[in-house]
Amino acid sequence: MTTLLKSATIIDTSSPYHQQQKDILITDGIITKIEDSIENNNYQVVALDNLHVSCGWFDTSVSFGEPGYEERENIKNGLDVAAKSGFTSVAVNANSNPVIDNKAAVEFLRNKANGFATNLYPIAALTQNSKGIDMAELYDMQQSGAIAFADYNKPVANDNLMKIALLYAQNFDGLVFSFPKNNSIAGEGIANEGVNSTKLGLKGSPTLAEHIQIARDLYLLEYTGGKLHIPTISTTKSVELIKEAKKKGLQVTCSVAIHHLTLSDDELHGFDSNYKVNPPLRTKADLKSLIKGIKSGVIDIITSDHNPIDIEQKKLEFSEAKDGTIGLESAFGAINSVLNLQDFIENLTSKPKSVFGLENHSIKENSKAEITLFNPEHNYTFTRADILSTSKNSAFLDKKLKGKAYGIYANNQLILK
């Protein structure tokens, strides 16, 4: 199959055509020609309003539910949502039932994802059943295709266990995650501890809980060596801690969830459980620091932290509802509303792929076509009609967004919304 992308503005700093408007010809999954104008010779033509293209976006924190929680989202629909939201690759968390904590479970995920346009990369559990007691079979799972190890949204409280994991994973260049939360400090907090939690009568979770855990992990990393990734940081101090660690030469990377870049705890005044996330929404000052962290390069990755929750566990009193928001469909429009395209596109493409050791396919001739198609100037209000996920728990409902994904070309497939 031959596909012709017409008048596409290329956003790819590694491409010789960066910021140029070109026609792009793709044959059997390979970019064969990039020119000012290519004549249509019975090709499959894609001509879209204000078409922009970049290297394929990679979301490094996605939950699908399957196996065990298919009512939230199954792999088939999840990958379709990801493709139509502009993601050519997703890293899938281990928070299913059973937990992805062994070789067979990793292979199950990979086999279920065969044949889709969007690539699925399993993040396997760091500990058995994600209980934080015994380390899982890390090497075997990596051999089966796991690209990292994490107990999704669960901190490892045992200092020695985290130390051993960092030491052990070095034998096969494994990447270890540590969720930034100290449960002893956070207690039963469900909102950022501060003015809003006090006004609303919600139990507060102090930022100190995040800082203590990050400080511990950085001390352990300095002692052990190895590679550490800290997912979904949410505070000013967290950015500062990681900045200092990078200055020391430690192999530490971090991500931030899009809702932590765009929404503050001011949203909680309506007690809408869609805003109940983990870590909790922080202050506007934290938002500014996180955005600065993106621009300065301290923060490596932007993720949707897509976490579908069924209505029975989400449409409850705020204190009883389960944490999490979906985010694939709103990801680009939300982040493009607060950052310039040049400030963040690498945090969705080359940087996350580098962190996870994956190849980034540049937009140039004779390169594999792994491309996201989007319009950065489309302004709209995100409504329920924009949600493609099985679960509807979006923190961005009725928010004004800027920019919309058209879809992707990847694995020799064109997927458009």
Catalytic residue among 59, 151, 300, 305: 305
The CA distance from 45 to 414, in Å, is 11
The CA distance from 353 to 351, in Å, is 5
The CA distance from 169 to 192, in Å, is 33
Is 23 part of the annotated catalytic residue set? no
67 preceded by a cis bond (ω within 30 of 0) = yes
Order across the sheet with 57-62: list the strands: 57-62, 87-92, 119-124, 148-149, 175-177, 227-230, 252-257, 301-303
Total residues found in the chain within this entry: 417
CB 302 within 8 A of CB 256: yes
Q: Token digits for 134?
A: 């015994």
Q: Which residue has the tokens 């939360």?
A: 181
Q: Token digits for 229?
A: 């990734």
Query: How many Cβ atoms are within 10 Å of 343's Cβ, its own excluded?
Result: 14
Q: Token digits for 201?
A: 């009568």
Enumerate the H helices of 85-178 as residue ranges.
Answer: 103-112, 138-143, 159-169
Tell me which residues are annotated as active site.
305
